Amino acid sequence: EQMTEAKKGEGLVERKVIRTHTPGTLITSSLIQDSAYNTLLALFHDKGHFGLAYTDVTTDTLYVTSVEDEKTLLDELVRLQPVEIVLPQKLLQDKSALFDELKLSLSPTLSTAEPYSFDVRSANKALLKQFKAQSLDGFGLGHMPIAISAAGALITFICEKLLSPIGHLKYLKHEPIKGHLAIDRITRRNLELFEPLHTNSKGSTLYELINHTCTPMGARALRSYLAKPLINIEKIKARSSCVHIFMEKRLESETIREYLSLIKDLERLSSRVSSGYANPKDLVSLKISLLQVGPIQKQLNAFSNPLIDSLRTKICDMDTVTDLIDSALVDDPPWRLSDGGLFKSGYNKDLDELALLYSNGSAYLAKYEETLREKTGIKKLRIGYNRVFGYYIEVSRGQAELMPEAFIRKQTLANAERFISPELKTYEDKILSAEEKKSKLESALFLELREKVASFTDEISKTSHSLSQIDALLSLAKLAFQGRYCCPEVDTSFDIEIISGRHPVIEAAKRSERFIPNDTYLSDKKTKMAVITGPNMGGKSTYIRQVALIVILAQIGSFVPAAHARIGIIDKLFSRIGASDDLTRGQSTFMVEMTETANILNNASERSLIILDEIGRGTSTCDGIAIAKAACERLITFYPKGPKTLFATHFFELTDLEKAYPNVKNFHVAVDETAHTIVFLRKIVEGTCDKSYGIHVAEIAGVPEPVIKRAKEILKELEKEPTASSSQHAKSMRPKKVPKKHPGEMTLFELKPFC
């Protein structure tokens, strides 16, 4: 920007870079998304561990954490969705394969920083200075040098780009990876939590469904809920109890939502004020937003709930701030200071005088001219102006003797004399410099006002955080009311019991159709694994996904789409769904399938929930069944209690698992079949399905009639005369008791390198 004024004859003006824009350091609200954090992340690697630090520079908190392996790192990066990653050049080179993998899920800007900024000593010093502390132990970082290196480098990067104080970044928090329901990037994608599987599928994500927030910071808070479901039962119940009471008192809740809808992005407005980027309209938006705080606090008094009480007490009295802004700025100021007209009349006496001179200079001169005529009796006296002498008083030469002695003769013309008076000279200076002085004074007054407002940023930040939580909880209450959801019971058992569960997104998308609900009961003793068979398009995939979504909703503290639900807390959620290749990494459809299966088998815990939609379909039938059966046996037997699994499959041979294991049960999708038509009832019932109805689905899809007819003929022949090989294959797939593993014997997914 231009740093000095352009003055005639004084050469070049000074120009200076005042800010560097990068995706992660954008502060202009129009360039960043309201409902999501614009996350800037720093990454450091040392001794096999990764340190992460991340923030949204328009907010007030810097988070730090660490991870132990690349898979966990990728899952965490996908959860955080950073728009820019800052890292050392060496890390970018050493882990090029990792970042190639990341680009397949995300497309962040990768910005390299100098190695010195990641030095733990300089990083520690930068953090202590930024957060005004003498030690990082109080932040839980005393023994996290890798995370400290990342955090210090991030602070340095932000300062270098913004080239201004970042005092608004006031809080440093250690955010452990553990402590919430772990959902890997594959499962997030398969369940469409935030991004649809198919482009142009608006309204198909769970976040879009549950987001009824009124404020941008509320939308971001709700997004955080969904990104990190809880595993702490007390915290889950605290949220769900809020949702319950907000539903009970609908009138008061809707009144609060009306006030919230008038609030702008308090979190980002506060940061813009404290960082010195706020413009006049930002302050007025802040005032309008804070004027809603008192009425909201009053409405919250109607609710008796521990969490609501806690949030209400953290809302600060904002009257001083609103009065300060209201007494100074007009209701609709310009965006830019240079446009002028920011302040109300009466706010500053000098500014009022300058504004009057600026806008009414000619009126003043006309009035002064009339006053002089009356005093001197010279009717033809006039006030004029030229660039050489400025303002002057002109009279005819014959009447020059009538002018007061205090007036100074300035110029003599053929028929006139020109004078100046002390008063005219004073006003000349005022009039000619009024615009410049007015602009400078307005700028100084605005900066002073903004600084005064900035002194309240702690109170505004606390208020903003409380309101964002209230907004998010009210959103869940609205969702529950509109969707006729129930309050789930969340406990420490190993059971999942859902009565009349529904898929929340599909149900909402098909309001004109009645969604067919289904029950679910998973238990380590009775039904650790449910093997679900049935036709394509029958609803198997919808069913297993809906169970996963109900669990997620329950663990963010939401009500769930069911008549009744009891959820034993889940610590990890896995999915293996669909067929897709990844040719950019040289992986076929089957390799992707096996990679996802291996991830589940290697990382599942006894409290995990696993949803599988086919295993082994990408290879030959015999290989596929063998792999699928071995994987199922592993999940059934590996833990005493074991993960709960919903397995949708077309391999009817797997239904024999029920005979071998008492905690495996078969289910199928009910079909109403007549002589001419087939109706998929979308109902999950016990037992196995005797047909796949693939030809019927092909017919619905528009496969030509001759092909359908011939397929039916071939099917009849196959059913009538099963081949010896198929009979032998079926016999070989009968369940057997799992023998004890011989010492040194290798089983599937447990291969060890040869020595």
* Residue length of the chain: 755
- The rounded percent of the chain whose pLDDT value lies above 90 is 55
The whole model's pTM is what? 0.84
pLDDT score for 472:
98
In the predicted model, what is the mean pLDDT of the chain?
87
Dist. CA 489–CA 240, nearest whole Å: 10
Q: What is the pLDDT of residues 125-170, one digit of tens each?
A: 999 999 998 888 888 887 899 999 999 999 999 999 888 778 888 8
Between 462 and 35, the more confident residue is 462
Residue 638 predicted with pLDDT over 50: yes
Confidence of residue 724 (pLDDT cuts 50, 70, 90): very low
pLDDT mean over 181-198: 91
What are 571-614's pLDDT values in tens digits? 999 998 875 544 444 456 778 888 888 889 989 999 999 999 88
Q: What is the pLDDT of residue 651?
A: 84
Task: Give 2's strand partners.
Answer: 15
pLDDT in tens, 274-291: 888 899 999 999 999 999
**Positive/negative CA dihedral, 573, 578, 583, 586:** positive
pLDDT tens, residue by residue, 404-435: 988 999 889 989 999 999 888 888 877 777 77
**Worst-scoring range by mean pLDDT, 71-80, 306-315, 631-640?**
631-640
DSSP character at residue 640: S
Nearest to 486, CA basis, from 572, 567, 569, 548: 567
At 697 the pLDDT is 74
Q: Among 91-100, 329-338, 392-401, 688-697, name the one with the lowest average pLDDT.
A: 688-697
Q: Which of 176-185, 247-256, 430-439, 744-753 has the highest mean pLDDT?
A: 247-256
Computed on alpha carbons and rounded to an integer, the radius of gyration of the chain in Å comes to 36
Confidence of residue 13 (pLDDT cuts 50, 70, 90): confident
pLDDT value, residue 526: 87
- pLDDT of amino acid 678: 64
User: Is 644 within 8 Å of 496 (Cβ atoms)?
Assistant: yes
Question: How far is it, in rounded angstroms, from Cα 63 to Cα 32?
Answer: 20
More confident residue, 681 or 505: 505
742 falls in which pLDDT band (50, 70, 90)? very low
Q: Which helix (H) or strand (E) holds 62?
A: strand 61-67
- Is residue 66 very low, low, confident or very high in pLDDT (cuts 50, 70, 90)? very high
Nearest to 42 by CA among 166, 162, 168, 152: 152
> For residue 198, is pLDDT > 80?
no
- Whether the per-residue pLDDT at 310 is higher than 90: the answer is yes
| Strand 49-55 with 40-46, pairing | antiparallel
The 10s digit of each residue's pLDDT in 518-552 is 999 999 888 999 999 887 777 888 999 999 999 99
**pLDDT at position 744:** 46
* H-state helical runs in 525-572: 540-555
Cα–Cα distance between 242 and 256 in angstroms, integer?
Answer: 14
Look at residue 705 in the predicted model and tell me its pLDDT.
84
Sheet architecture: strand order including 40-46: 109-113, 84-88, 40-46, 49-55, 61-67, 171-174
pLDDT value of position 10 = 65
Q: Going by C-beta distance under 8 Å and a sequence separation of 6 or more, which residues neighbour residue 452?
A: 324
φ, ψ for residue 60, nearest 5 deg: -120, 10
| Beta carbons of 115 and 45 less than 8 angstroms apart | no
Distance CA 497, CA 499 (A): 7
For the segment 258-282, the average pLDDT, to the nearest whole number, is 92
Position 8 scores a pLDDT of 53
Which residue from 159, 234, 222, 653 is spatially nearest to 471, judged by alpha carbons?
222
End-to-end CA gap in the chain: 66
Predicted local confidence at residue 755, as pLDDT? 32
Residue 616 or residue 558, greater confidence: 558
Closest by Cα among 676, 291, 727 to 467: 291
Give CA–CA dist 563/382, Å, rounded: 90
d(Cα 688, Cα 25) in Å, to the nearest integer? 57
